[in-house]
Copies of this chain bind each other. A is one copy, B any other.
Amino acid sequence: MAGVEVSNKQVILKNHVVGFPKESDMEVKTSMITLKVPEDCEGFLLKNLYLSCDPYMRSRMTKHERPTYVESFIPGSPISGYGVGRVVDSRHPNFKTGDLVWGMTGWEEYSLITSALSFFKIEHTDVTLSYYTGILGMPGLTAYAGFFEVASPKKGERVYISAASGAVGQLVGQLAKLSGCYVVGSAGSKEKVDLLKSKFGFDDAFNYKEEEDLDAALRKYFPEGIDIYFENVGGKMLDAVLMNMRLHGRIPVCGMISQYNLLQPEGVHNLFNLITKRLRMEGFLVFDYYHLYPKYLEMIIPHIKEGKVSYVEDVAEGLETAPSALIGLFTGRNVGKQVVVVARE
């Protein structure tokens, strides 16, 4: 295929977004691309197969006044995000035509990757390939690092996970069970709650939308309090959790998805509990933990193959469905890790 000019469908961000994002903030356009790496570029050409929809991408849709941890998307250009693809041409010494890779790619059929820094070559191909957008990719390492490196769990501890059926949460719960913890998760539908209990082996789970009093709900599920809260949502949930933490509890802060579309984040009122219960609340980003990726893969791949760890994906078919799939994250429409299939081969 190398050298051929082909059409290239792309998902373009039309404008920076304020408030809740809409499908119409994006548009699908078609341009042309030559499947050959230019001579002056030490990169590779990628045929994108699976794209990852992740909550942090909301931040990239915003125009930031001060520099932050991610760069804003550029209006008029394709969205970028983690994805799995196959190299169709390469001038990079570490990647050759035919290689399967995952890393930061474009929301389009083909991407010219000029900076290969974020890319990993996929060595284990006897597992579901799209897993490299989830359990075997960034969200998987996020769960692993946040739980083991930040939360420092001990056997028998009580673990609470919000957004527990999501790309990260479902894995944190299973890692916590494998570590001998008592695990309760919350999610936003009956279907998700059932999944937590039946598929992922959580000790218990509840639908936060059906709880009028989150504080009372947490007191019911954790009469002796919470040792580890894996924070994915922020806002009111965090406030209720702070009331229910145990002495010397830890709160690894992974995300705050309930806040991303608000013009002004909600106020959190119960931080005084940090003192009275000597709590540690620690934010983390997966970027700081990529050195652990080989160790993580070595641990998780046998668990997947032996069926000890499950992973549920919500798969949207075709690049045209990508805008809707991405927006769906913020209404909680996805059940499990949201993936977009661009092509299967």
A63 interface residue, CB < 8 Å from B? Answer: no
CB distance from A182 to the nearest CB of B (A): 21
Main secondary structure of the interface of A (DSSP, over half): loop
Minimal Cβ-Cβ distance residue in B for A267: B267
- Out of B269, B273, B279, B283, name the residue touching A267 (CB < 8 Å): B269
Q: Are A276 and B238 in contact (CB under 8 A)?
A: no
Q: Are B265 and A274 in contact (CB under 8 A)?
A: no
Q: Are B283 and A282 in contact (CB under 8 A)?
A: no
A28 interface residue, CB < 8 Å from B? Answer: no
Minimal Cβ-Cβ distance residue in B for A270: B265
Q: Which of A246-283 contact B (CB under 8 A)?
A: 253-256, 259, 264-283
Q: Are A284 and B275 in contact (CB under 8 A)?
A: yes
For A255, list chain B residues within 8 Å (CB): 275
Q: Are B268 and A279 in contact (CB under 8 A)?
A: no
C-alpha gap A148/B273 in the complex (Å): 22
Q: Are B288 and A283 in contact (CB under 8 A)?
A: no
For A281, list chain B residues within 8 Å (CB): 274, 280-282
Extra inter-chain contacts (15) besides given A255-B275, A265-B269, CB under 8 Å: A238-B271, A265-B272, A266-B267, A266-B269, A267-B268, A267-B269, A274-B281, A278-B283, A279-B282, A279-B283, A280-B282, A280-B283, A281-B281, A281-B282, A282-B282
